[in-house]
């Protein structure tokens, strides 16, 4: 009894220490999220990271009208995007960049209500930001590629997997009949299972990262649904409906991700011996193919919510800002307007018709005024 007590005590102590450090880590992340809100974003990434953020935009640019590269570059929008971005996940990064490249938001009223909601509701905002942080940010992740085209999931041959499963079950039956040859059969089956598992794992490992992000994306959606924010009623209903579909997918994806990086020997033995990973992967890919459109809806809804948080944070960092009023008049009118990228800007007020001539010496601010 004393030995068992020591073992149980050691295991209990291990879990206590583990959960303590996990709690400390999570509290540190939450404090960081809170401190960064309302501050001008500090760009800490490189061009490879930035190129990865443009993946969703590149998928969409041939199917809808988006801001062209010349206009985008002329307006210094790369620098503005980097200054405004306060997202926590790759989903937020990718969707925000795509949203910035759109010609116009089809529903400005809803967008404004959503941004205001995130600005006023600190507790809900920080819960969502932490959920988005847990999704993760990974350069060149394959999540959006697989969601847009599930056929890009690496294919695996099911026949060898089925054969290894049959051999595994048969060898156990043989073991109950003849212990000597049964042990040999179980050993050979186990070796075959491990070899096949290593080959298959090497082939589909690149998809595991995306699967892990997707499961955490679903968990973030569950957080959003529980909050029941009135300004996000449309998004909440959409997420609630889609979560019904992806319940089984996330369970399978969780299983595959855990197996691929598991240090649990028993889990690895059982999985490889019966080739369970093959069936889980096969079913999961079929489910993704069947519910492709709903997976994209989930991605876009969460990306939109994170964009609203990022916009609210940027507004908080400004000394002042205003909401534009749109009209059918052929003119632009503004008071005390400044360029957001200038540290010491000079405000300008003007009412402009369909023509304006700007003159001045070199480096006097003509281009900056036009960009503003």
- How confident is the model over 120-158, as pLDDT tens digits? 999 999 999 999 999 999 898 889 998 888 888 888 888
pLDDT at position 369 over 60: yes
d(CA 134, CA 99): 22
On whether the pTM is more than 0.95, the answer is no
Q: What percent of the chain has pLDDT over 90?
A: 37
Partners of residue 334 on adjacent β-strands: 350
d(CA 136, CA 257): 15
Residue 347: phi and psi, rounded to 5, are -65, 150
DSSP string computed for 95-142: HHHHHHTBS--S-HHHHHHHHHHHHH-HHHHHHHHHHHHHH---TT-S
Query: What is the pLDDT confidence band of residue 58, given thresholds at 50, 70 and 90?
Result: very high
- How confident is the model over 295-312, as pLDDT tens digits? 999 999 999 999 999 999
Which is more confident, 205 or 100? 100
Q: Name the region of 111 (left: φ>0; alpha: ψ -120 to 50; beta: rest).
A: alpha
pLDDT at position 100 over 80: yes
Q: What percent of the chain has pLDDT over 70?
A: 91
What pLDDT, on the 0 to 100 scale, is given for residue 226?
A: 95
What pLDDT, on the 0 to 100 scale, is given for residue 262?
A: 53
For residues 187-199, b (16+ Cβ closer than 10 Å) or e, as one string? eebbebbeebbee
Q: Name the region of 131 (left: φ>0; alpha: ψ -120 to 50; beta: rest).
A: alpha
pLDDT at position 49 over 70: yes
């Amino acid at each position: 009894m004393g030995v068992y007590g020591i073992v149980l005590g050691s295991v209990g102590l291990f879990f206590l220490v583990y959960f303590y450090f996990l709690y400390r880590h999570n509290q540190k992340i939450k404090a960081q999220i809170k401190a960064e809100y309302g501050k001008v974003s500090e760009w800490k990434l490189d061009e490879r990271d930035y190129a990865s953020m443009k993946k969703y935009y590149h998928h969409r640019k041939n199917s809808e009208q988006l801001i062209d590269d010349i206009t985008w570059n002329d307006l210094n929008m790369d620098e503005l995007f980097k200054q405004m971005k306060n997202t926590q996940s790759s989903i937020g990064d990718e969707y925000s960049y795509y949203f910035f490249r759109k010609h116009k938001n089809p529903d400005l009223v809803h967008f404004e209500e959503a941004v205001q909601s995130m600005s006023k509701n600190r507790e809900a905002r920080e819960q969502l930001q932490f959920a988005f942080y847990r999704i993760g940010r990974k350069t060149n992740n394959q999540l959006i590629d697989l969601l847009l085209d599930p056929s890009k999931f690496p294919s695996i041959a099911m026949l060898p997997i089925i054969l290894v499963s049959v051999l595994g079950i048969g060898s156990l039956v043989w073991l109950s009949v003849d212990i000597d040859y049964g042990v040999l059969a179980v050993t050979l089956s186990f070796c075959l299972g491990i070899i096949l598992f290593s080959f298959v794992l090497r082939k589909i490992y690149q998809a595991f990262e995306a699967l892990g992000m997707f499961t955490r994306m679903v968990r973030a959606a569950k957080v959003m649904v529980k909050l029941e924010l009135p300004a996000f009623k449309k998004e909440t209903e959409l997420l609630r409906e889609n979560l019904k579909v992806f319940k089984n997918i996330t369970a399978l994806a969780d299983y595959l991700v855990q197996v691929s990086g598991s240090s649990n020997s028993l889990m690895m033995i059982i999985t490889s011996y019966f080739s369970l990973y093959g069936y889980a992967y096969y079913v999961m890919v079929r489910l993704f193919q069947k519910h492709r459109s709903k997976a994209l809806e989930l991605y876009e809804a969460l990306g939109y919510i994170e964009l609203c948080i990022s916009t609210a944070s940027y507004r908080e960092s400004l000394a002042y800002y205003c909401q534009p009023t749109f009209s059918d008049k052929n003119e632009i009118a503004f008071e005390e307007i400044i360029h957001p990228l200038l540290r010491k800007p000079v405000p300008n007020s003007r009412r402009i018709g369909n023509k304006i001539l700007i003159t001045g010496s070199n480096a006097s601010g003509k281009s900056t005024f036009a960009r503003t």
